[in-house]
A and B are shown apart, each in its own frame.
Chain A
């Protein structure tokens, strides 16, 4: 899938943009020197309209899970005028996800470039990079290697599931408690200390850094029209994780293989992380683009692909995940704080092969009760994943109801 691209001339340097699917991970190392050698110098600042236009043409969408068109977020922030806040979100609340951490360890300068370019275009007067304890050192090291990144304030946040949500990141900065806010007022209107705030995932920022160097056309030279460019995926196997960069529209099986998984050993994959959708072994050639996954009611999300091996029970695993998600609720919102533990309890009984046949119905009722009734999408995402499990593992449900498990053959 390699495609040659024309060299781009930037400020007197001949820089060949990355060809092949290694883009974010193309440099030889995390140092500033390796970054410059691999990607060339940071492009000179452009006005916000030019930046928005380039991002729109590139068709890049957020890589933090919500997949909102990036140009639209930047445009919304621009509408609030200059003097706002730009935040790079490297909190990566999902425990299975490793792409943001990997990016900050292996290509921090792309993230810093992206932050500085967006902040300059918007005239922001505060730049924050929020991440968890393990990533603080490489980020600070990268900042110290340059002269232009002194303004970036590195902030630590907790390693909790909802801490990665955009308004939770704002709260982590403003109140030291990474819990979500009510979404009635958009962050791009009022965020950190009531100032317009733009929160972008660190992978999105890295892509922005490359788009503004090599152009929208280069970005689109890989991937599909509806999923241009490349994405980072975390392949989560039972024995370890691997981060893979793949072009948009790559089939699930291809990414799994690149992540060290033999598709023949797979029972199902949870695509999109703990708020994602289960896809069974017979559908492993599905392209991992928003369009390809929509047929299953799924989306790439933040790129987590959790493998459920053959011989392991999907319902038991779902129950375990649901217990975790319930425990990770911020506890602010009644429907979530009450509903998720109730779902987890019912799901736990399903997983343990409780013969109560009313459990699936009860779970479905609870998912309807919690969806959309919270400050963030934690309850909705949990509901979606659980419903997907009930649908995908329907045969197992019937077996469990009589005390058997087909998958574990007991």
Chain B
């Protein structure tokens, strides 16, 4: 699992909700690929992806557009 430093936001995938709808992989292609079964795959694997500042807006879009609310963005302020 990724363990990003606190300076960066973290995108967390709730696998109990994720249903491979694929919106997030379209909005964050720099961070997420698609695994053989359609689920989002981060570069280092795992459930938590470090989100650099310039992708934070796209990450928020991904969170808001996930049809099943499977994503959550944890910012350093949290």
Contacts from A to B (Cβ < 8 Å): 179-182, 184, 332-336, 338-339, 368-369, 371-375
Contact = CB atoms under 8 A, between A and B. Distances in A.
Contacts of A373: 13, 15, 35, 39, 41, 45-47
B16 A335 contact: no
Given A333-B18, A335-B15, A373-B39, A184 B72 contact: yes
A333 B35 CA distance: 13
Given A368-B45, A369-B35, A373-B46, A334 B20 contact: yes
B71 to A, nearest CB: 10
B15 A372 contact: no
Interface in B39-73: 39, 41, 45-47, 72
B46 A334 contact: no
A182 B14 contact: yes
Contact of B14 (A184, A338, A339, A369): A184
Contacts of A369: 35-36, 41, 45
A142 B73 CA distance: 47
A374 B12 contact: no
Given A182-B16, A371-B46, A372-B1, 11 more contacts: A182-B14, A184-B14, A333-B18, A334-B20, A338-B37, A339-B37, A368-B45, A372-B47, A374-B47, A375-B14, A375-B15
B62 to A, nearest CB: 16
A368 B13 CA distance: 17
A334 B38 contact: yes
Nearest to A184: B12
Contacts of A371: 45-46
Given A368-B45, A372-B1, A373-B15, A334 B72 contact: no
Counting chain B residues whose Cβ lies within 8 A of the other chain, the interface size class is 20 to 34
A372 B37 contact: no
A402 B22 CA distance: 42
Nearest to A371: B45
A82 B69 CA distance: 31
Query: Which 8 pairs of residues, A with B, have the shortest CB-CB distance?
Result: A333-B15, A372-B46, A182-B14, A338-B37, A334-B39, A372-B1, A332-B16, A375-B16
Contacts of A368: 45
A351 B30 CA distance: 39
Contacts of A184: 12, 14, 72, 74
A375 B47 CA distance: 8
Nearest to A167: B16
B17 interface: yes
A374 B15 CA distance: 6
B16 A333 contact: yes
Contacts of A181: 16
Nearest to A380: B1
Residue of B15, B17, B38, B41 with highest tally of chain A CB at under 10 A: B15
Interface in B12-36: 12-20, 35-36
Contacts of B19: 334
A349 B20 CA distance: 28
A89 B13 CA distance: 27
Contacts of A334: 15, 18-20, 35, 37-39
Contacts of B46: 371-373
A95 to B, nearest CB: 24
25 contacts: A180-B16, A182-B14, A182-B16, A184-B72, A184-B74, A333-B15, A333-B16, A334-B19, A335-B37, A335-B39, A336-B15, A338-B36, A338-B37, A369-B36, A372-B1, A372-B45, A372-B47, A373-B13, A373-B45, A373-B47, A374-B15, A374-B47, A375-B14, A375-B15, A375-B16
